């Protein structure tokens, strides 16, 4: 017996024998591992941790339908709504009273109104007219540089026309190819015996015809064509063979040109109304013709939806 065992008390020796061996520390940790207390539960049944209990509860729930089945069902529901709309439109088009018929009726009435307006315009009414004297147009002078200009005299009245010059970017000048009246009064050429109700109309016509005459003189000079030597004031307002109104220097009647322009507008409006009416009739016929197909498609979609719901 060693001297250490001789001095050891019996109680300490018994305590060391009864004390359980300490659990060795995991490698890398300096603190002793603490064993968690046992969880309370049914005797003889193992208590699962919280995350394992959630997994078990999820497994006990009824299975959800697959995602592709749900997406397919949603797609079929949308197709069903579209098929219902097609069926409703087809049934509406096949009914005696429908919006397409009302729109066609309105378009037909509008076409009749346009046709009446065209007939009224085609009936040429005499235009106002008063003859002009044969006063000669003299002293015709045309300059092309630096900008085009035209001048001439009619009786005691002198007229001057010139192109405008404008400034473009970077300081370059550009010429606007339209003559502007610089001198002269067209009202001075209106004959004294002109009726009062025609003075304003004749003044306006002479202003336009003088511009046409000056433009023609400039173009003839640029094209190297000889200028007229016997032009008169009467040539600026000859009677129109169609309506009897005034013609300009180039033989164009403004009254007839306005009438022709209005007739073209009415013709385009008539064509537009005709196209709209044909489109409405075609749409109605198409919907009515596709009604059996739309009903059969709706039935097939509903059958497919019912089968898919039974699978889910």
Alpha carbon distance 175, 164 (integer Å): 6
Classify 72 as helix, strand or coil.
helix
pLDDT confidence of residue 109? 96
pLDDT confidence of residue 66? 59
For residues 231 and 136, is the Cβ–Cβ distance under 8 A? yes
How distant, in Å, are the alpha carbons of 94, 251, 266 from that of 106?
Answer: 19, 42, 17
pLDDT confidence of residue 215? 93
Tell whether the model's pLDDT for residue 117 goes beyond 70: yes
Which residues face 152 on adjacent strands? 159
pLDDT confidence of residue 29? 47
Neighbouring C-alpha atoms within 13 Å toward the C-beta of 46:
4
Which residues face 161 on adjacent strands? 150, 181
Q: Which residues contact 159 (CB under 8 A, 6 or more apart)?
A: 151, 152, 153, 181, 183, 184, 210, 214
5-36 pLDDT tens trace: 555 555 555 555 555 555 555 554 445 554 45
Q: Where are the beta strands (DSSP E) in the chain?
A: 137-143, 149-154, 157-167, 173-183, 238-239, 246-247
pLDDT confidence of residue 28? 47
Give 292 or 9, the one with higher predicted confidence: 292
| Ranges 50-54, 180-184, 238-242: which has the least confidence | 50-54
pLDDT confidence of residue 43? 56
pLDDT confidence of residue 11? 54
Give 206 or 47, the one with higher predicted confidence: 206
With a pLDDT cut of 70, the percent of the chain lying above it is 79
Alpha carbon distance 295, 88 (integer Å): 10
pLDDT confidence of residue 56? 75
pLDDT confidence of residue 37? 47
Give 221 or 172, the one with higher predicted confidence: 221
- The closest of 211, 241, 246, 16 to 130, measured between CA atoms, is 246
Give 170 or 208, the one with higher predicted confidence: 208
What residue segments make up the domains of the chain, in order of their start? 68-122+282-311, 137-252
Phi, psi for 248 (deg, rounded to 5):
-85, -175
Residue showing tokens 């106002």: 128
| Ranges 67-76, 121-130, 152-161: which has the least confidence | 67-76
Give, for 207, the enclosing helix (H) or strand (E).
Answer: helix 196-222
Alpha carbon distance 14, 123 (integer Å): 140
Per the prediction, the chain carries an average pLDDT of 83
* Cα 30–chain centre separation: 78
Task: Give the pLDDT band (50/70/90) at residue 145.
Answer: confident
Tell whether the model's pLDDT for residue 72 goes beyond 60: yes
């Amino acid at each position: 017996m060693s001297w250490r065992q001789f001095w050891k008390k019996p109680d300490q020796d018994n305590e060391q024998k009864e004390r359980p061996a300490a659990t060795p520390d995991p490698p890398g940790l300096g603190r002793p591992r603490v064993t968690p207390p046992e969880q309370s539960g049914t005797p003889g049944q193992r208590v699962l941790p919280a995350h394992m209990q959630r997994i078990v509860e999820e497994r006990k729930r009824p299975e959800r339908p697959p995602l592709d089945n749900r997406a397919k069902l949603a797609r079929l529901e949308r197709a069903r709504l579209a098929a219902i709309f097609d069926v409703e439109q087809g049934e509406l088009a096949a009914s005696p009273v429908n919006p397409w018929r009302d729109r066609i009726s309105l378009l037909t009435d509008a076409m009749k109104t346009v046709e009446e307006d065209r007939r009224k315009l085609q009936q040429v009414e005499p235009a106002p007219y008063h003859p002009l004297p044969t006063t000669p147009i003299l002293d015709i002078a045309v300059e092309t540089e630096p900008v085009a200009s035209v001048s001439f005299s009619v009786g005691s009245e002198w007229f001057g026309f010139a192109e405008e010059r404008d400034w473009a970017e970077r300081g370059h000048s550009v010429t606007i190819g339209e003559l502007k009246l610089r001198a002269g009064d067209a009202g001075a050429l209106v004959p004294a015996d002109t009726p009062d109700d025609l003075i304003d109309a004749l003044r306006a016509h002479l202003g336009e015809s003088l511009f046409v005459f000056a433009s023609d003189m400039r173009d003839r000079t640029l094209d190297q064509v000889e200028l007229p030597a016997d032009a008169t004031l009467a040539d600026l307002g000859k009677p129109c063979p169609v309506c009897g109104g005034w013609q300009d220097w180039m033989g164009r009647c403004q009254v007839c040109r306005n009438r022709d322009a209005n007739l073209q507008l009415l013709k385009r409006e008539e064509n537009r109304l005709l196209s709209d009416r044909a489109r409405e009739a075609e749409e109605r016929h198409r919907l009515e013709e596709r009604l059996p197909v739309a009903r059969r498609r709706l039935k097939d979609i509903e059958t497919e939806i019912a089968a898919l719901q039974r699978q889910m």
